[in-house]
Homo-oligomer: A and B are copies of this chain.
Amino acid sequence: MDKDKIDKKDHILDVAERVFSELGFDGASTRTISGEAGVNMAMLNYYFGSKEGLFLAVFNRKIISFQDLLKNIGSDESTTAWNKVEKYIDLYAQRVVNNNCFQKLLYQELSMQRRGELSDKITDILMKNALEVRKILKDGVDNGEFNKDIDAEMVIATIYGTKNFIVNTPQLTSKLLGYDIQNDKMLEERFKPRIEAYLKTLLKSYLLK
């Protein structure tokens, strides 16, 4: 039945996303993934063509919705630039909480600059997001809302980097923050409001005159 096929592919993607996140692209073997998904190894290639195809499928499944949300924030003409920044921080924090595992995977894969389509695709997607944020910042400068001498690109690095550092080195930052970042409940109830409040205060004092 068609419904079953979709469910099974989706199940494989779920498992693959988790295993990739835990072990990285190289560390996660197709045998491990198929084994944990409870399917035959050949099914991975049957459905997704190759290991890289499987990774790309995991990747593509995640990115579509976020792009649209981001675009909507930037295109809203009825609000201030600072309000857009706040909205983006909220959206981003929510995204991190919901896709903690995957965000780690993305950054990990991007960190080791590898050959081919995979890295290029990830770069393109993240670049699009980054440019969207930069446009918001530049607009804020142009309309006099933000300081004219802000370093927009570095601000982007700060937003992404602060989050990445925390979720990508959980054994370090959990000690530092005082609670377990890898625990979903802690992530939602303590980390999320904390990074939201922090980034807003930090950027507000830097961006606004």
A157 to B153, CA, bound (A): 18
Main secondary structure on A side of the interface with B? helix
* Contact A113/B171 with A153-B176, A206-B205 known, Cβ cut-off 8 Å: yes
Task: Determine if B172 and A166 form an interchain contact, defined as CB atoms under 8 angstroms apart.
Answer: no
Binary per-residue interface labels of chain A (108-140) against chain B in the complex, 1 for a CB within 8 Å, 0 otherwise? 101111100001000100110010001000000
Contacts of A110 in B (CB 8 A): 168-169, 171-172
A34 at the B interface (CB under 8 A) = no
A40-48, A67-75, A195-203 - the one binding chain B: A195-203
Number of residues from A at the complex interface, CB < 8 A: 50
Task: Determine if B153 and A158 form an interchain contact, defined as CB atoms under 8 angstroms apart.
Answer: no
A6-14, A23-31, A90-98 - the one binding chain B: A23-31
Contacts of A177 in B (CB 8 A): 153
A158 to B112, CA, bound (A): 22
Listed from nearest, the 3 A-B pairs whose CB atoms lie closest are A161-B165, A161-B161, A26-B26
- In addition to A104-B111, A161-B163, 9 A-B residue pairs with Cβ atoms within 8 Å of each other are A26-B27, A27-B112, A107-B169, A111-B111, A123-B175, A151-B197, A157-B162, A158-B161, A206-B206
Within 8 A of B (CB), among A183-206: 194-195, 197-198, 201-202, 205-206
